[in-house]
Amino acid sequence: MLAVNWRHSRGAALALATVAGAVLSLLLESAQSFLPARIASNVDVLANVAGAAAGGLLAAVFARWLLGGGPLHRLRAQALTPGAAADLDLALLGLWLFAQLNPATLLFGSGDLRDLLASTAGESHKAELFVSIEAAITAMNLAAVAVLASAGARPEAPLRRLVVLLVVLALVVKTFAFAILMRAEHVFAWLTPGAQMGLAAGIVLAMAALWLPRPTRLALAAVLLMAATVLVNLAPPNPYFAATLKVWEQGHFLNFNGLTRLVSAAWPFAALAYLVYLASSRLRDPLR
């Protein structure tokens, strides 16, 4: 709806968004009729159309906040540089926050490919080793994300406050995921000893990294992302989550869980590609 709002009236944009949702839903339900394990349903079509209409209505209500001239647009102009690079940066940070909804991952850990490449869990080790590895993963990823957030920021932007806000928002999302998917007593199960040490070390490392020149920061972010991804794939089984995850009844969240795991697995590689893009842009234009 927002994509076509600028060239059509608000009512026409809402109608187009609803019709597009209806057509997509009909196509998906029609395709499911050819799959023996799936059942096409007109109720699903009605629910999807209602959802598309509701999303269009929300977009219509908040269009002036989101599009040119709105408060969010002004905030983006004040804090971020213009152009597609900053927009890609925002998209990556949004996906990183979305990946925190998966309760099966280490705090800020991403890039776990073991489900795709290995059929069995690794050898168990003492909890002390896991604490050290989780602390390192949390700290390196936190610092890398902080540097990534600085990539599209204006020099005069309050960068350190924005980074702290981003980290707090990520912790809120992680807590929200545990509150929804786990029992109430496990809402802070993610706050393990390793996560606590990693948060403290990561904040210190991130604030120090933000003092570095921009090319050095980006190179450091790439190194930290690669090192953290390797550690995620070498980490032993999580002794703290073993009992907690047994009470996780995925049920209707199964597909959602799969989506969060996919985003979490792919995110560091997308972030590395973005850092390579920034480096190549700088080589083409040394004044940037």
Q: What is the pLDDT of residues 247-282, one digit of tens each?
A: 455 544 456 677 788 888 899 999 999 988 888 876
Count other C-beta atoms under 10 Å from residue 278's C-beta: 22
Packing angle between helix 127-151 and helix 254-284, nearest 10 degrees?
A: 50
Q: What is the pLDDT of residue 71?
A: 64
Entry pTM = 0.75
Phi first, then psi: what are they for 243, rounded to 5°? -75, -35
Over residues 4-31, the pLDDT tens digits come to 555 556 677 778 888 888 888 888 888 8
Q: Contact 144/228 with Cβ under 8 angstroms? A: yes
Q: Which residues pair with 153 in a beta bridge?
A: 80
Q: How far apart are CA 151 and CA 148, in angstroms?
A: 5
Q: Which residue has the higher pLDDT, 156 or 183?
A: 156
Q: Where are the alpha helices (DSSP H) in the chain?
A: 2-5, 10-32, 42-66, 71-79, 84-99, 114-117, 127-151, 159-181, 193-209, 214-234, 241-244, 254-284
